[in-house]
Structure 1
Amino acid sequence: METSSRVEMILDKLYNDPANPAGFAGVNQLWTEVRKIDASIKKKDVQQYLEGHRTYTIHRPRRVHFKRSITYPSGYMTDVQCDLADFQKLSRQNNGKKYALVAIDVLSKRVFAEPVRTKKSNDMIDAFEKILARMEMHPHRIFSDKGTEFCSKEIMDFFRKKDIEKYTATFSSVKASLAERCIRNIKQRLYRFMSEKHTLKWTEVLPKIVNAINNSKCRVLGGLRPVDVSFNNAKEIREMVFWPIGKNKPRKKPRFKENDHVRMSRSKKYFSKGYLPNYSDEILQIDLVKRKLIPIDTVCVTIMVNCSKDISTLRN
Structure 2
Amino acid sequence: MALTEEQRGYLESIWTNVKHTAAFSGPYKLYQIVKKEGKHKIGLKGIREFLSDLEPYSLQKRVQRKFPRRHILTDSIDTIWDGDLQDVRNISKDNEGVQYILVLQDIFSRYLFTAPLKQKTATKMIEALKTIFASGRKPEVLRTDKGKEFKNRWVASFLKDEDVHQIFTENETKSNFAERSIQNLENRLHRMFTHNQSYEFLSKLQSVTDNINNTPSRPLGGITPASVTKKNVEEVRYSAYLQRNKKKSAVSKKLRNTKKDRKKPFKFKLNDKVRISHLRRLFQREYDQKWTGEIFKVTGRYRSQGLPVYKLKDFAGEPILGTFYAQELQKVRTDDNSIWKIDKILQERKRKGTVEVLVSWHQWPAKFNSWIKKSDVKEV
| TM-score where L is the length of structure 1 | 0.79
Determine if the alignment matches structure 1 residue 308 to structure 2 residue 367: no
The residue aligned with 1:144 is: 144
Displacement of 1:111: 0.8
| Aligned pairs for 1:86-105 within 5 A | 86-105=87-106
Q: Secondary structure at the match of 2:219?
A: coil
2 CA distance for matches of 1:68 and 1:187? 25
Q: 2:291 aligns with which of 272, 278, 288?
A: 278
More displaced, 44-53 or 180-189? Answer: 44-53
More displaced, 16-25 or 54-63? Answer: 54-63
More displaced, 77-86 or 147-156? Answer: 147-156
1 CA distance for matches of 2:124 and 2:37? 70
The residue aligned with 1:70 is: 71
The code of the aligned residue for 1:299 comes to V
Displacement of 1:123: 2.9
| Aligned pairs for 1:16-35 within 5 A | 16-35=16-35
Superposed CA offset, 1:171-192 (max 9, x none):
7x55211111111111111111
2 CA distance for matches of 1:18 and 1:37? 17
The residue aligned with 2:157 is: 157
User: Which structure carries more relative contact order (alpha carbon 8 Å, separation 6+)?
Assistant: 1
RMSD of Structure 2 on Structure 1 (CA): 3.5
Displacement of 1:108: 0.3
Structure 1 alignment gaps of length 5 or more = 312-316
Whether contact under 8 Å (2:79, 2:139) holds in the other structure is yes
More displaced, 35-44 or 86-95? Answer: 35-44
2 CA distance for matches of 1:298 and 1:174? 17
Gap change, CA 1:22 and 1:93, over 3 Å in 2: closer
The code of the aligned residue for 1:35 comes to K
The residue aligned with 1:209 is: 208
More displaced, 63-72 or 207-216? Answer: 63-72
2 CA distance for matches of 1:45 and 1:82? 43
2 CA distance for matches of 1:174 and 1:195? 30
1 CA distance for matches of 2:109 and 2:290? 44
Determine if the alignment matches structure 1 residue 257 to structure 2 residue 269: yes
Displacement of 1:79: 1.2
Gap change, CA 1:85 and 1:258, over 3 Å in 2: closer
From the two aligned structures, give the one with the greater strand fraction. 2
Gap change, CA 1:218 and 1:33, over 3 Å in 2: same
Gap change, CA 1:47 and 1:186, over 3 Å in 2: same
Displacement of 1:25: 2.4
The residue aligned with 1:299 is: 309
| TM-score where L is the length of structure 2 | 0.67
Determine if the alignment matches structure 1 residue 37 to structure 2 residue 37: yes
Whether contact under 8 Å (1:30, 1:46) holds in the other structure is no
The residue aligned with 1:314 is: none
1 CA distance for matches of 2:335 and 2:293? 14
Whether contact under 8 Å (2:301, 2:308) holds in the other structure is no
The code of the aligned residue for 2:76 comes to G
Superposed CA offset, 1:145-168 (max 9, x none):
222222333322221221111223
Structure 2 alignment gaps of length 5 or more = 317-333, 339-380
The residue aligned with 1:85 is: 86
The code of the aligned residue for 2:23 comes to G
2 CA distance for matches of 1:277 and 1:87? 28
Q: Secondary structure at the match of 2:190?
A: helix
More displaced, 264-273 or 176-185? Answer: 264-273
1 CA distance for matches of 2:84 and 2:24? 43
2 CA distance for matches of 1:304 and 1:205? 49
Displacement of 1:267: 4.7
Determine if the alignment matches structure 1 residue 133 to structure 2 residue 144: no
Whether contact under 8 Å (1:31, 1:46) holds in the other structure is no
Whether contact under 8 Å (2:98, 2:119) holds in the other structure is yes
2 CA distance for matches of 1:287 and 1:160? 33
2 CA distance for matches of 1:157 and 1:52? 46
The residue aligned with 2:112 is: 111
The code of the aligned residue for 2:28 comes to N
The residue aligned with 1:221 is: 220
More displaced, 115-124 or 184-193? Answer: 115-124
Gap change, CA 1:39 and 1:228, over 3 Å in 2: farther
2 CA distance for matches of 1:183 and 1:167? 20
The code of the aligned residue for 1:234 comes to V
Q: Secondary structure at the match of 2:203?
A: coil
2 CA distance for matches of 1:43 and 1:291? 32
Q: How many residues align?
A: 304
More displaced, 137-146 or 114-123? Answer: 114-123
